[in-house]
């Protein structure tokens, strides 16, 4: 067994860079998820990971990001554990539930099945990047209007998939929405609301 | 007592959720966090003869590999997974042995998740397997004595004497909750305390239960679970991993997070056990019940106490002068089962509501009419009145909304224009109306902001929306400037939020706090000036804020109940009270379409009408009913754990093979809530809704499949091969 101390191996981690000072509010407050503009400066990998290290240059929610990653990392784990973008969720880690859905060059992908390295030079959009300041994306507003959620865990993935579903032209009828949204499981069973929300938002998105 | 009805209002935390800002347990930022991964046992029973950790420890980034030697001093207490009552449960990794497949045998902690995963894969465990029993049909299954749980009259004699008799047996498979949030545990150090962050319906267990297991003072622990990514009963208690992660963090003096993979959760977390239901009904020619004998056999682990209460709601469904329900546990070598949404009520309603449907067809009585004929306002078990029972109204209104009068009597006699066989089915349900003690601390500031800290957990059922409704109604506060802190032992004492007693406990506490604050304001400025939005009145009173705290017990509960609340112990009351028995009620109507050559079953629409007392938030309550119907669809046509008894392993331990309802499976679900307050029970007039939502709905679908096809399948899920 090893029992290496933190200090010998890693110095400061990206998480510390990102979340320094957040600990006092841990028990009570909900610190806002960092916007892309607040993403940390490129940090160096922990020493042990350098043998697997890669430098990833990508764009996340419209902001250029350069970050050292472990070549084994999924895009989901880099977003969540490396960059503090925890909107995309891990529900299965096997591409079976859709909770981790993000957009890669405008296409919906299961970020848990996407190697982070594959995002190099490409554009990533996550749930944190679709609202315009305080103004919600029409799909977000529609999810509120139709209560298209319960626990909210699958919701970011549902919304990202729903936006793509509309843009792909797969929201022309309820039947088509149901079919093209069946990669995103909602265990709470808010499907009726999700379909109604996509119907509402697709009309608004087409007008926009 | 009259009470205001709630208008349509949005869900109170919907905005955070659509923005991706709601922070679930594994989302919470913790500086210096280490990542853990478990190694699951590769045998179903036996001893561990050696664990080689050297290669794992050498994986770059691995900080430490824990084995049973590190956790041997963790205590098994009633709080431990698989306990119950005053019996201790079972904690894996305490000793060099295995009691069920998949239990953790090593815990690897590393600087990164990737290193932890690689480390876990590098741990090598040697076992000495022993023989085991993984199924109730195998030798070695231990049958406990049969116990009677509910009784009225003399059911065996009345059944023997009945003119019409039915004797059928229904099977229900093992099912898994599978909330989409995988169960994660994070132990962090904050202000000299250990804060445990795990998505849970029972944060108190993570203060008091963990402390007991680790031999520590509960005051050293807090638990925070402000958002839970679905629970459905799987997050009712400490998990197998919980104490291990906390102890690992204590030993390493660094925060540790474990997100247990879905494949492992199938073998470590709880589930709904397999059960067998024999239903014998004796009735008159008019379909009036004379006797029901109902016997349940339910699989269990060797060590868990889950069981019983199987006849609790079904014995109250209809006027049944003679009733006897029994249950029997059959113990095998698996992990502990426990409560899964409508734990007994769903399988029991499935079996009995299908049996009653069979009786209706046998007697030539309309299945809807059979239920209405057997309606009652008195509890057959205690003889007391129901505090409120509008089941017949639910059935009548549902039938009208559904168009039940278009039903043709003969099975297989209805078709769509494109040739699908059409079936109509009805099923009814009930769920006990319970309550637990709750504490509410409310502060309203003159600037219009306010904060409520309260007992209760939010897992999507709409707890925040329910308690906010009472503050808005009584105080006219601005919901957009209301902060609600819950599911957190550091803000208010916490009680396990299960059994559909959550909102019926916390909403009355919120209402009592709001009324107390209003009366304090009246004392300060007089009734006239205390009217209107309370923040303005506080400003007029030239106070910066007003704050109150109330402790609200459930109906008939003594003040001593707060001692239990304050020590993290469950303290529910109901459904039997001094003067009455209390349940929520529901009626479901399902239409199925069966493609005649492939026998593919679709459920294009369901109508559900529910008597859940006063509706606290229409959107969240309706959503609960729709969710219950989706769960019932899953039970009727999709979900079953496939167990390989040779190895004690669940074969379909992922979300591709354990088939859950998806969007394309679900048609229209039309919900009506009667919204009849039951102020006999509590000042909010609320009964539960999250569990009753599912009860009876699987039977409605199964009965509709019979009506469409004429085939009576007595197991679920019904699959194509059952109908071909």
Give mean pLDDT, residues A12-24. Answer: 35
Which of B180, B235, B248 would you mutate first to test chain A, the one with the most A CBs within 10 A?
B180
Q: In this predicted structure, what is the pLDDT of residue A106?
A: 97
Q: In this predicted structure, what is the pLDDT of residue A53?
A: 86
Please indicate if any CB of chain A lies within 8 Å of the CB of B258.
Answer: no
Nearest to A108 by CA among A180, A25, A57: A180
Strand ordering across the sheet containing B583-594: B414-415, B421-432, B583-594, B601-611, B666-673
Identify the domain boundary among A129, A163, A182.
A129
CATH number at residue A83: 3.10.20.30
Q: What is the largest CA-CA distance in chain A?
A: 62
Q: How many distinct helices (H) and strands (E) make up chain B? A: 18, 27
Render pLDDT for B98-114 as a digit per residue (tens, 0 to 9). 999 999 999 999 999 99
How much is the mean pLDDT over chain B?
97
Q: In angstroms, how far is the first alpha carbon of chain B from the final one?
A: 56
Q: In this predicted structure, what is the pLDDT of residue B1?
A: 56
In the numeric block, the tokens 């306990």 are attached to B83
Tokens of B502: 């959550």
Question: Pick from B10, B118, B195: which is nearest to A26 by CB?
Answer: B195
Cis peptide bond upstream of B420, omega within 30: no
A101 and A144 both lie in a single domain: no
- Tell me if B31 and A15 make a contact (CB, 8 A cut-off): yes
CA distance B210 to B207: 6
Distances (CA, A) of B218 to A24, A46, B206, B490, B567: 20, 35, 9, 12, 9
Q: What percent of chain B has pLDDT over 70?
A: 100
A154 and A184 both lie in a single domain: yes
Tokens of B377: 């306002």
Q: In this predicted structure, what is the pLDDT of residue A48?
A: 64
Q: Which residue of A has its CA nearest to B177?
A: A187
A121 and A34 both lie in a single domain: yes
CA distance B715 to B514: 49
Residue A41: pLDDT over 70: no
Please classify residue B534 by burial: count the beta carbons closer than 10 Å to its beta carbon, then call 0-12 exposed, 13-18 middle and 19+ buried. Answer: buried
Question: Pick from A33, A151, A182: which is nearest to B460 by CB?
Answer: A151
Which of B12, B13, B19 would you mutate first to test chain A, the one with the most A CBs within 10 A?
B19
3-class secondary-structure state, position B339? coil
Question: Pick from A77, A143, A192: which is nearest to B666 by CB?
Answer: A192
Name the band, by pLDDT with cuts 50, 70 and 90, for residue B82: confident
Tokens of B195: 């804060």
Asked, for residue A145, whether it belongs to a domain, the answer is yes
What DSSP string runs through B562-589? HHHHHTT----B-SB-SS-B-EEEEEEE
Give mean pLDDT, residues B593-617. Answer: 98
A121 and A157 both lie in a single domain: no
A32 and A110 both lie in a single domain: yes
Asked, for residue A1, whether it belongs to a domain, the answer is no
Identify the domain boundary among A129, A158, A183.
A129
CA distance B109 to B99: 24
A17 and A106 both lie in a single domain: yes
- Cβ–Cβ < 8 Å for B331, B135: no
Identify the domain boundary among A129, A164, A197.
A129
Classify residue B537 as left (phi > 0), alpha (psi -120 to 50) or beta: alpha
Chain B residues 643-682 with CB within 8 Å of chain A: 654-656, 660-666, 668-669
Question: Where would I find the H helices in B413-495?
Answer: 463-475
- Cβ–Cβ < 8 Å for B321, B667: no
Tokens of B414: 């209805």
Name the band, by pLDDT with cuts 50, 70 and 90, for residue B81: confident
- Cβ–Cβ < 8 Å for B444, B452: no
A123 and A32 both lie in a single domain: yes
How far apart are the CA of B359 and the nearest CA of chain A, in angstroms?
A: 32
Question: Pick from A6, A127, A184: which is nearest to B32 by CB?
Answer: A6
Q: Which residue of B has its CA nearest to A134?
A: B19
Render pLDDT for B639-691 as a digit per residue (tens, 0 to 9). 999 999 999 999 999 999 999 999 999 999 999 999 999 999 999 999 999 99
What pTM did the predictor assign?
Answer: 0.95
CA distance B200 to B497: 9
Contacts of A40 (CB under 8 A, 6+ apart): A14, A17, A18, A83
A121 and A31 both lie in a single domain: yes
A157 and A58 both lie in a single domain: no
Domains in chain B with CATH codes: 25-132+181-229+235-268 (3.90.1170.50), 275-433+578-723 (3.30.365.10), 435-566 (3.30.365.10)
How far apart are the CA of A121 and the nearest CA of chain B, in angstroms?
A: 23
CATH number at residue A181: 1.10.150.120
Residue B224 with chain A: CB contacts under 8 Å: 26-28
Give mean pLDDT, residues A163-185. Answer: 98
A88 and A179 both lie in a single domain: no
- Cβ–Cβ < 8 Å for B698, B427: yes
Instruction: Dihedral sign for Cα A38, A44, A45, A47, please.
Output: negative
- The domain tally of chain A equals 2
A44 and A84 both lie in a single domain: yes
Q: In this predicted structure, what is the pLDDT of residue A45?
A: 60
Question: Pick from B28, B111, B662: which is nearest to A26 by CB?
Answer: B28
Q: In this predicted structure, what is the pLDDT of residue B2?
A: 84
A120 and A171 both lie in a single domain: no
Q: Which structural domain, as residue segments, surrounds residue A85? A: 6-129
Q: Which residue of B has its CA nearest to A83?
A: B29
How far apart are the CA of B582 and the nearest CA of chain A, in angstroms?
A: 26
Tokens of B146: 């049969």
Tokens of B437: 């003690």
- Tell me if A189 and B628 make a contact (CB, 8 A cut-off): yes
- Cβ–Cβ < 8 Å for B188, B350: no
Asked, for residue A201, whether it belongs to a domain, the answer is yes
Give mean pLDDT, residues B219-241. Answer: 97
Name the band, by pLDDT with cuts 50, 70 and 90, for residue B465: very high
Name the band, by pLDDT with cuts 50, 70 and 90, for residue B709: very high
Which of B608, B663, B693, B694 would you mutate first to test chain A, the one with the most A CBs within 10 A?
B663
How far apart are the CA of A107 and the nearest CA of chain B, in angstroms?
A: 19
């Amino acid at each position: 067994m090893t029992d290496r101390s933190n200090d010998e191996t890693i110095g400061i981690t990206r998480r510390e860079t990102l979340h320094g000072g957040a600990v006092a509010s841990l028990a009570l407050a909900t610190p806002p998820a960092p916007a892309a503009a607040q993403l940390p400066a490129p940090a160096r990998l922990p020493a042990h990971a350098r043998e697997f290290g890669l430098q990833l240059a990508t764009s996340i929610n419209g902001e250029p990001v350069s970050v050292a990653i472990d070549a084994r990392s999924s895009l989901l784990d880099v977003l969540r554990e490396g960059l503090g973008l925890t909107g995309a969720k891990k529900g299965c880690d096997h591409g079976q539930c859709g909770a981790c859905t993000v957009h890669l060059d405008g296409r919906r992908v299961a970020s848990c099945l996407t190697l982070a390295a594959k995002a190099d030079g490409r554009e990533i959009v996550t749930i944190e990047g679709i609202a315009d300041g305080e103004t919600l994306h029409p799909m977000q507003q529609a999810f509120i209007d139709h209560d298209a959620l319960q626990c909210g865990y699958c919701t970011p993935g549902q919304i990202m998939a729903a936006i793509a579903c509309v843009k792909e032209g797969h929201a022309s009828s309820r039947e088509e929405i149901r079919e093209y949204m069946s990669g995103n499981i909602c265990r709470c069973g808010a499907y009726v609301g999700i379909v109604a929300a996509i119907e509402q938002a697709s009309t608004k998105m087409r007008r926009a | 007592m009259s009470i205001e009805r709630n208008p349509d209002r949005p869900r109170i935390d919907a905005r955070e959720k659509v923005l991706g800002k709601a922070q679930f347990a594994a989302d919470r930022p913790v500086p210096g966090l280490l990542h853990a991964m478990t190694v699951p046992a590769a045998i179903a029973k036996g001893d561990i003869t050696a664990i080689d950790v050297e290669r794992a420890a050498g994986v770059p980034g691995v900080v430490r590999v824990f084995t049973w030697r590190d956790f041997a001093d963790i205590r098994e207490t009633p709080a431990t997974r698989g306990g119950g009552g005053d019996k201790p449960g079972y904690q894996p990794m305490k000793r060099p042995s295995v009691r069920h497949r998949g239990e953790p045998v090593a815990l690897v902690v590393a600087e990164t998740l990737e290193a932890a995963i690689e480390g876990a894969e590098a741990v090598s465990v040697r076992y000495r397997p022993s023989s085991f029993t993984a199924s109730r049909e195998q030798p070695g299954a231990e049958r406990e004595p049969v116990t009677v749980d509910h009784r009225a009259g003399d059911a065996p004699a009345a059944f023997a004497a009945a003119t019409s008799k039915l004797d059928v047996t229904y099977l229900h498979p093992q099912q898994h909750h599978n909330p989409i949030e995988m169960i994660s545990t994070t132990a962090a150090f904050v202000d000299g305390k250990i804060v445990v962050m795990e998505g849970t319906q029972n944060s108190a267990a993570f203060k008091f239960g963990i402390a007991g297991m680790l031999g520590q003072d509960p005051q050293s622990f807090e638990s925070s679970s402000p958002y839970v990514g679905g629970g459905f009963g799987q997050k009712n208690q400490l998990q197998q991993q919980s104490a291990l992660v906390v102890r690992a963090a204590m030993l390493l003096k660094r925060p540790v997070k474990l997100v247990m993979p879905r494949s492992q959760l199938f073998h470590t977390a709880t589930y709904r056990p397999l059960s067998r239901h024999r239903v014998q009904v004796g009735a008159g020619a008019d379909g009036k019940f004379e006797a029901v004998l109902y016997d349940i056999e339910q699989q269990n682990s060797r060590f868990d106490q889950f069981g019983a209460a199987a006849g609790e709601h079904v014995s109250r469904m209809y006027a049944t002068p003679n009733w006897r329900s029994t249950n029997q546990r059959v113990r095998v070598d698996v992990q502990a089962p426990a409560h899964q949404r409508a734990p007994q009520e769903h399988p029991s309603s499935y079996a009995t509501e299908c049996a009653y449907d069979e009786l209706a067809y046998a007697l030539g009585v309309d299945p809807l009419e059979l239920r209405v004929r057997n309606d009652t306002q008195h509890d057959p078990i205690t003889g007391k009145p129901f505090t409120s029972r509008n089941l017949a109204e639910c059935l009548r209104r549902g039938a009208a909304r559904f168009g039940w009068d278009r039903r043709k009597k003969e099975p297989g006699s209805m078709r769509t224009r494109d040739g699908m066989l059409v079936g109509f089915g009805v099923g009814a349900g009930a769920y006990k109306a319970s309550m637990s003690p709750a504490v509410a601390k409310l502060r309203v500031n003159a600037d219009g902001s306010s904060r409520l800290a309260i007992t209760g957990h939010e897992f999507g059922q709409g707890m925040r929306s329910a308690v906010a409704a009472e503050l808005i109604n009584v105080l006219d506060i601005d919901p957009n400037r209301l902060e609600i802190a819950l599911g957190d032992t550091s803000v208010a004492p916490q009680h396990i939020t299960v059994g559909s007693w959550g909102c019926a406990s916390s909403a009355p506490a919120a209402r009592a706090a709001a009324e107390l604050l209003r009366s304090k304001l009246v004392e300060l400025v007089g009734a006239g000036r205390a009217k209107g939005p309370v923040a303005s009145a506080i400003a007029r009173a030239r106070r910066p804020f007003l704050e109150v705290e109330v402790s609200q017990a459930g109906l008939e509960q003594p003040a001593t109940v707060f001692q239990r609340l304050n020590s993290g112990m469950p303290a529910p009351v109901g459904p039997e009270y001094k003067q009455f028995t209390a349940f929520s009620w529901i009626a479901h109507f399902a239409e199925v379409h069966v493609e005649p050559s492939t026998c593919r079953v679709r459920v294009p629409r369901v109508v559900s009408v529910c008597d859940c007392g006063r509706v606290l938030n229409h959107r969240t309550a309706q959503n609960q009913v729709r969710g219950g119907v989706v769960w019932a669809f899953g039970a009727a046509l999709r979900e079953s754990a496939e167990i390989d008894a040779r190895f004690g392993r669940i074969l379909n331990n992922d979300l591709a093979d354990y088939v859950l309802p998806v969007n394309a499976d679900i048609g229209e679900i039309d919900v009506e809530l009667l919204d009849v307050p039951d102020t006999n029970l509590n000042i909010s007039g609320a009964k539960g809704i999250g569990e009753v939502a599912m009860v009876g709905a699987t039977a409605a679908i199964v009965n509709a499949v019979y009506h469409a096809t004429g085939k009576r399948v007595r197991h679920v899920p019904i699959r194509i091969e059952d109908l071909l």
